[in-house]
Amino acid sequence: MAYNNLITLCRCPWSDGYEWQGIFSRIVPTAAKWAQVVEPRLDAFVGLGVPYLSEWLKYRETTLAPIFKALGNKRIIILVDDLDRADFRLVPGILYSLHKLLDIPGFSFVLGFDPEKVAISLGRAGFTDDPQFLEKIVDFPRRLPEPSAEQLEGLVRSEVLKWCGFVDVDALQAIYTHLPSNPRVLKHFIRQVWCLKSEVERYKQDEIDWPLLLLITMLRTRWPRLGKEMFSSKEELTRIASTSPVWTSSGQDRDVAVKAHEQLLDELFKRAGVHEHDRIAAAPLIKALLERAMYSLKSDVYALAQILSNPAILTRRELEGVIKEAEAPIDVSGLGRKLQTHAGQRQVDYRTICQTAFQLLLESYDGFLSRCADADDELGMRELLDKAEHTLALIRTLAIDLCGLTGRPPHLHAKHFHQLLNLFAKWAVNAG
């Protein structure tokens, strides 16, 4: 790529294998090809390895002369990116090669790396791990400034708008204080959010607590093992949440809860292999997640955490689609066929679909009656009561007409019948 008298070649060190001559076998031939230099012996020289190549670069100036002539006042810029992500065994050879072997007029090398991480790689390879050692290699060091909070927020917002149009953008406020400073990690987070698309679209927008889901996704993106440990089971998540100071009252009980919670988090971090410097960022994120979970009326935090690994068998939106045409009088056989179709699509048996649908209908029935108390007027109350009555009719259809409780064997269990009775008893008491 030529621009303003510069010819730019890009290399990624960890894609060149473990042989140092890999970098030469690409850079010099590319430059020669650009200069339209025909040198049939070039690949053979390069293939002999670094020692021979060193001699070749030293004594075969006539081979490079056509390249210099073709360059004129131009320079060839070699971009070596991600050096800090390369295998530590590659780093010393690459640095030595750039400093000694490829010190060629007309060639410049731009290296992108984290000095501290490269120093660690040098130390692992048996060299000094002092970052100042790099001053012998890099002639013109330039440190990129840390991105500001506004820049990080702007990056996340623009990427979400570009790739994740299904996300409630206003919910991003929940994660702004927990953004990592590394843009690469932020883009990985965006990709993880994008992966939610197919599952999120199975829900109604008001069913998803977006701030909570984004906090969960951020935790799992930055510390995958921590997310796996924390959401390994509903019991484990409940154990963590129950000790959180957010869930306890003030006073002595709160002090005890703080101490217990800190101890539990310390155990969790150790199991997940979270380093000390990462715990400073992870702890506030967990706190924010648990606070949101406490006040969320939309979503079950554990269910949201499993939205990809253990997707819901049936969502409210899908159930509404199944029963959309089942208006009074209810088409019993049509409802049964649609449930069978959905069971096939989700690759579960019909009994599982019936049980899930029954549970969702019970929750809907309870929700409609609960909202009646908050209705603005009698008309709004009547509308909610009509929806509750229709939902109850669907419950009856599922339990009786579709042999949920009366089949041989029944698709529903005694516990489902008890749930229905308890719901009736609850509203009978409230009505009284």
Which helix (DSSP H) or strand (DSSP E) does residue 78 occupy? strand 75-80
Work out the burial of residue 365: count CB atoms within 10 Å of its CB; fewer than 13 is exposed, 13-18 middle, 19 or more buried: buried
Selection from 25, 191, 190, 27 nearest residue 104 by Cα:
27
pLDDT at 257 over 90: no
Residue ranges per structural domain of the chain: 2-136, 149-305, 316-431
The amino acid occupying position 91 is: V
What is the side-by-side order of every strand in the sheet holding 107-111? 2-3, 6-11, 75-80, 107-111
* The two three-digit tokens of residue 287, written as one number: 């706190």
Residue 328 confidence (pLDDT) = 55
Is 302's pLDDT higher than 80? Answer: yes
d(CA 31, CA 70): 10
Within 10 A of 387 (CB to CB), how many other CB atoms are there? 17
Best-predicted range by mean pLDDT among 61-65, 177-181, 245-249, 333-337?
177-181
Provide the mean pLDDT of the chain: 82
Contact 10, 83 (CB under 8 A): no
- Kindly state the average pLDDT of the residues 22-33: 56
The predicted model gives 151-167 an average pLDDT of 95
167 in helix, strand or coil?
coil
pLDDT per residue over 171-215, tens digit each? Answer: 999 999 999 988 889 999 999 999 999 999 999 888 899 999 999
- For the cut 80, the answer to whether the pLDDT of residue 92 exceeds it is yes
Non-local (6+) Cβ contacts of 100 within 8 A are 54
Q: Which of 109-118, 362-371, 375-384, 404-413 has the lowest mean pLDDT?
A: 404-413
Burial of residue 85 (CB within 10 Å: 0-12, 13-18, 19+) is middle
pLDDT at residue number 174: 94
Q: Which DSSP state fits 376?
A: S
Q: How many CB atoms lie within 10 A of CB 211?
A: 21
Phi, psi of 195 (to 5 degrees): -65, -20
The secondary structure of 179-203 as a DSSP string is --S-HHHHHHHHHHHHTTHHHHTTS
Helix (H/G/I), strand (E/B), else coil: 109: strand
Which among 64-78, 211-225, 250-264 has the top mean pLDDT? 211-225
User: Helix, strand, coil: what percent of the chain each, to 5?
Assistant: 65, 5, 30
For residue 239, what are the CA distances in angstroms to 228, 264, 272? 15, 9, 16
Q: What is the pLDDT at residue 19?
A: 46
Mean pLDDT of 376-400: 89
Query: Does the pLDDT of residue 357 top 70, yes or no?
Result: yes
Count of C-beta atoms within a 10 Å radius of residue 221: 18
Higher pLDDT among residues 134 and 55, named by residue: 134
DSSP code string of 50-62:
HHHHHHHHHH-HH
Residue 108's Cβ-side half-sphere holds a number of Cα atoms within 13 Å equal to 12
Give me the amino acid identity at 28: V
Determine the pLDDT at residue 249: 58
Which segments of 255-344 are extended strands (E)? none
Instruction: For residues 370 and 330, give the distance between their C-alpha atoms in angstroms, rounded to a whole number.
Output: 25
Q: Which DSSP string corresponds to 308-323?
A: TTS--SS-HHHHHHHH
